[in-house]
Each structure stands twice: as structure tokens, then as C-alpha cells.
Amino acid sequence: MLGVLPGVIGTLQATEAIKILSGIGSPLTGKLLHYDALSSGFRSIKLRTDPECALCGNNPSITDVTEVDYSLPVTERTHASITVEELSTKLKNKEPIVLLDVREPEEAAQCNIEGSTLIPLGQLTHRLNEIPPEAKIFVHCKSGKRSARAVTLLKREGYTNPINVEGGMDAWLNLKEE
Amino acid sequence: MNRGTPLTQEEEQRYARHLALPSFGMEAQCRLKESSVLCIGAGGLGSPATMYLAAAGVGRIGIVDDDIVDASNIQRQLLHVTSDVGRSKIQSTKDTLLAMNPNIELDLHEERFKPENAMNLAKGYDVLIDGSDNFPTRYLSNDVSVLLRIPNIHGSIFRFEGQVSVFAPHLGAPCYRCLFPDAPSEGAVPD
């Protein structure tokens, strides 16, 4: 990440705080201000409240944060998944699995899990011929989000029970550091 | 909006440029002195956010972070300097902010912002700044600020792009969940 970028965004956050606290100007509510450093552009996107919002909608279901599972987004939880510890054991035991890495090549170049097959998420639909249909497939990315989408895609394409690696490379690196 | 706390002579000198600013002036400066902000995270976003708020004279600033300064942080997390590597971020945050402005009150929370402590940590602040770098904390700070009816100043960054918004359903504005009810697609809301 470009180091100066959080400087721009964090400074905008401070600006909004100062405006709200001192009572000057109008706050950046109902709008999302997007900044692109490469094209030097600011864009303001209008936002709408969602009457169905689980938190601030008409019938909120979230009323106590201690009752919310913040560990993973919902779509990830709905897939079959394994932890990096379980994956590590499978690899150690040399189980016949296909470990699919759906990150981008530059991410894989920095660190990868030995024996994994790299097919970036965006190319997956065109490269399914590289994945044997009968294989036991485990999918990982950096954090578990892209791999969850890959699992959805694989299921749609008829693969039986592709499995998401929870927490992805981030969790894997944490495990290896311990 | 409160009427604010009077300034000392030293503060009048320090904030002279604010005081001379039309439509800011003494009244707005006193309100800043009376107000409080909780910043989640003392990293890339939390650094400029808390440093400018401290310099501007916000009376009470809370910071939540349980991390240790890593050599790779220094490139963007200006609260921490080279000699801070290995120290707790909360300690270097304290040093930096008090060196900038000894008049302000700091609430230093050396812990993670978790569902178990979040409501208690955020209670009593006027504004919350989300300087987190992960989705669970982002959703949590959103939820806490909505439940406590305090504005949540959201910021997020990815590679060369960033975004800012003030989420505040109590002011008629949407919250983060209105935009992304649960699982945002990769890249749509970069962390």
C-alpha cells in the first residue's frame, strides 16, 4: 500500500471529526467520498439508508454486539471449510488433495503454500480444465473471502464439495509463526 | 451542541489560527476542547487522525490498539518512529500525541476492540473514528456507534485508493451495514 494514502484518508477522517465536534459545515453523511491517488480524482457517491438493514432498519435483528459473530462474513460460513491447522495436517500426511490458490500471481510470488495450484479467481471459469472433477478440492486466498466466492463458483460448475480454507494465507502465516 | 470550555492563555496562542478563522473562532475552539473522540486503531489511518485531532485541541482522545510497532509500520503509521519498533503502539501513541499537545486528555486502551468490551469502550465519546484494518472490527465499530447513536467516521484504503464516509443513522444517514449487509465482495470494500 502506498504509505501516503492512509495519510490522506485519515486526515479526511480528522477533518470530518473536527467539523462535527465544532459544529461547522456539513458532515459527510449519506455520501461516500472516494479518492484515487493514481488518477488524482475525488468522487462523491450518494448513499441510501436500507429500511431492511439488520442494524438500523425498521426491524433490526442486531441489538447486542455480544450476540453477533464477527469472525467471518456470512457467505464464508455457509460453505464447508477447514482451518489452516487441519489443512497443515492433511498436507503433512500427504493426503491426495488439490490445493487451489485463487490469489493474484504477485501475491503468490510473495508467499505460497507448497504444492498449491495458482488460478486467480478472475480466471477460474476459463481454467476449470486444470482441476480434475473428482478431486478433493481445498481453496484458499489471502483472507478467505475470494476463496469463498471460488467455492460458490466451483459448486455451480458441478464440483462436489469444494472446501474453503478459513482465514486463507493470513491465517496460514500466523500458524507458521506460532 | 455544548458551549465549550474556556481556553487558557497558552491555548489562545496555540490555536491562534483557528481563533482568527471566520466562522470558526473561539466558540468552535471551545467546543473542540469540550469534546471527545474514540479512535479504533493507532495505525495508518489512526495516525494522522489522532495527530490532527490532538493538534487541533480536541479535549479528550481515546485510542484502542493492542499491537506492537513493527518495522514495516513506519512507512505510513506516523505516530510511531524508528526507535519505537518493538514497543507497544499505545505507548508510542501517547509519546507522540502528548509531545504535540500536552493540554489534551488521552484515554489509552491497550486491548483489542472486541464485542465483549466495545460498548463500554465507546460509551461517552462524541464521535468514533474507525481506523481499523479488518472487516470484523469495521462491522463492530459500525454496530457499536449505531447502537450508541454516535457518528462513525469510516475510512478504508486499498493499494492506491481510499474512501471516507460518516455513518450516522440517528442523523438520517445510512450505516455501513446498509451498504454491505454482510459479506462484501473482494475489492468492493478494501481492507
All domains of chain A, ordered by start, with CATH?
A: 5-48 (no CATH), 74-177 (3.40.250.10)
**H or E element in which residue A14 lies:** helix A5-22
Q: B4 versus A172: which is more confidently predicted?
A: A172
Instruction: Identify the pLDDT of residue A178.
Output: 77
Domain ranges in chain B with CATH number 3.40.50.720: 35-179
B182 contacts on A by Cβ (under 8 Å): 73-75
For residue B7, the number of C-alpha atoms closer than 13 Å in the C-beta half-sphere is 22
Mean pLDDT over residues B133-154, rounded? 96
**Are the C-beta atoms of A21 and B150 separated by less than 8 Å?**
no
- Judged by a CB distance cut-off of 8 A, whether residue A41 touches chain B is no
Contact B177 A34 (CB under 8 A): no
Instruction: Identify the pLDDT of residue B5.
Output: 74
> What's the CATH architecture for B35-179?
3-Layer(aba) Sandwich (3.40)
Q: Could you tell me the pLDDT band of residue B90, with boundaries at 50, 70 and 90?
A: very high
Mean pLDDT, chain A, as a whole number?
A: 90
Q: Could you tell me the pLDDT band of residue A36, with boundaries at 50, 70 and 90?
A: very high
Instruction: Identify the pLDDT of residue B174.
Output: 97
Residue B188: all three cell numbers together: 468492493
Q: Could you tell me the pLDDT band of residue B189, with boundaries at 50, 70 and 90?
A: very low
Q: Provide the phi-psi class of A45: left if phi over 0, else alpha when psi is between -120 and 50, else beta.
A: beta
Instruction: Identify the pLDDT of residue B182.
Output: 67
Nearest to A13 among B129, B140, B186 (CB): B129
A32 contacts on B by Cβ (under 8 Å): 163-165, 179
Instruction: Identify the pLDDT of residue A125.
Output: 85
Mean pLDDT, chain B, as a whole number?
A: 92
Helix ranges, B3-72 (H): 9-14, 16-19, 25-34, 46-56
**Are the C-beta atoms of A9 and A28 separated by less than 8 Å?**
no
Burial of A108: CB neighbours in 10 Å, binned 0-12, 13-18, 19+: middle
Instruction: Identify the pLDDT of residue A78.
Output: 59
Which positions 101-160 of A are in contact with B (Cβ < 8 Å)?
121, 141, 143, 145-146, 148-149
Which positions 20-49 of B are in contact with A (Cβ < 8 Å)?
23-24, 28-29, 31-32, 35, 37, 43-49
Percent of chain B at pLDDT > 70 equals 93
Q: Could you tell me the pLDDT band of residue B65, with boundaries at 50, 70 and 90?
A: very high
B102-142 residue pLDDT tens: 999 999 999 999 999 999 999 999 999 999 988 899 999 99
A141 has catalytic annotation = yes
**H or E element in which residue A45 lies:** strand A41-46
A92-149 residue pLDDT tens: 999 899 999 999 999 999 999 999 999 998 899 889 989 988 889 999 999 888 898 8
pLDDT at position A155 over 60: yes
* Range name among A106-110, A152-156, B33-37, B83-87 with the lowest pLDDT average: A152-156
- Judged by a CB distance cut-off of 8 A, whether residue A8 touches chain B is yes
A3-16 residue pLDDT tens: 999 999 999 999 99
Instruction: Identify the pLDDT of residue A109.
Output: 92
Instruction: Identify the pLDDT of residue A74.
Output: 46
**Are the C-beta atoms of A1 and B37 separated by less than 8 Å?**
no
Mean pLDDT over residues A11-27, rounded? 97
- Judged by a CB distance cut-off of 8 A, whether residue B129 touches chain A is yes
Count H helices, E strands: chain B? Answer: 8, 6
A58-106 residue pLDDT tens: 988 899 999 888 875 544 445 788 999 999 999 999 989 999 999 999 9
